[in-house]
Structure 1
Amino acid sequence: MTQHQDTETGSEPDGPDTGTLGKAIAVLDLIARAEVAPRFTDLLTLSGQPRGSLHRQLRHLAMEGLVELGPDGGYTPGLRLLQFASRAWSRHSFRQVAEPHLKHLHERTGETVHLGLLREDEIIYLDKIESRQAVRMHSQVGNAAPVYCTGVGKVALSCLPDERLAQIASRLRFQTFTPATLADAGALLSQVEAIRARGYAFDLEEHQPGIRCVAAAIAVPEANILGGISVTAPAFRADMDQLEAWADDVCAAARAIVQDALQRLGPRR
Structure 2
Amino acid sequence: MAERHAPAAGASQKTLRVLEAALLNERFTDIVEEAGLPKSTVHRILASLVAEGFVSGDAESGYRPGARFMTLAGRALSGLDISELAQPIVDRLVAEVDCTVHVGVVSGDEMVYIIRTDSSKPYRMRSRVGLAIPMHSTGMGKAAMASWTDEAVVAYAERTGLPARTDATLTDIDALRAVLAEVRRNGYSLDLGENEVGTVCVAAPIRDHTGRVSHGLSISSIALEHPGRSIEELAPYAIEAATEISRLLGAAV
One fold, TM greater than 0.5?
yes
**1:195 and 2:183 correspond:** yes
| Change in 2 beyond 3 A, CA 1:181/1:225 | closer
1:155 deviates by: 0.5
Name which of structure 1's ranges 107-116 and 183-192 shifts more when overlaid on structure 2.
183-192
Secondary structure in 1 matching 2:156? helix
1:229 deviates by: 0.2
1:92 deviates by: 7.1
CA offsets 1:106-151 (integer angstroms, 9 cap, x no match): 1111111000011111001011101210122111101101111100
For 1:252, which of 212, 223, 240 is the aligned residue?
Answer: 240
**1:132 and 2:123 correspond:** no
Task: List structure 1 segments (4+ residues) > 4 angstroms apart after TM superposition.
Answer: none
Residues in 2 aligned to 1:225 and 1:217: alpha-carbon distance in whole angstroms? 6
Q: Which one has a bigger Cα radius of gyration? A: 2
Normalising by structure 1, we get a TM-score of: 0.60
**1:232 and 2:220 correspond:** yes
For 1:211, which of 199, 211, 217 is the aligned residue?
Answer: 199
Letter in 2 for 1:222: T
Secondary structure in 2 matching 1:191? helix
CA offsets 1:162-221 (integer angstroms, 9 cap, x no match): 332332233222222221111222221221111111110000001111000000001215
Q: Where do 5+ consecutive residues of structure 2 fail to align?
A: 1-78
CA offsets 1:238-257 (integer angstroms, 9 cap, x no match): 13463122101000001100
Q: Where do 5+ consecutive residues of structure 1 fail to align?
A: 1-90
Letter in 2 for 1:239: P
Secondary structure in 2 matching 1:182? coil
**1:161 and 2:149 correspond:** yes
**1:110 is matched with which residue?**
98
Residues in 2 aligned to 1:241 and 1:185: alpha-carbon distance in whole angstroms? 22
Paired residues of 2:190 and 2:232 also in contact (CA < 8 A): no
RMSD (CA atoms): 2.0
Residues in 2 aligned to 1:105 and 1:262: alpha-carbon distance in whole angstroms? 21
Residues in 2 aligned to 1:223 and 1:217: alpha-carbon distance in whole angstroms? 11
**1:144 is matched with which residue?**
132
Letter in 1 for 2:194: E
| Change in 2 beyond 3 A, CA 1:118/1:108 | same
Residues in 2 aligned to 1:118 and 1:204: alpha-carbon distance in whole angstroms? 20
Residues in 2 aligned to 1:94 and 1:223: alpha-carbon distance in whole angstroms? 15
Paired residues of 1:136 and 1:234 also in contact (CA < 8 A): no
Q: How many residues were matched structurally?
A: 174
| Change in 2 beyond 3 A, CA 1:133/1:92 | farther
Once the two structures are aligned, what percentage of the paired residues are identical? 31
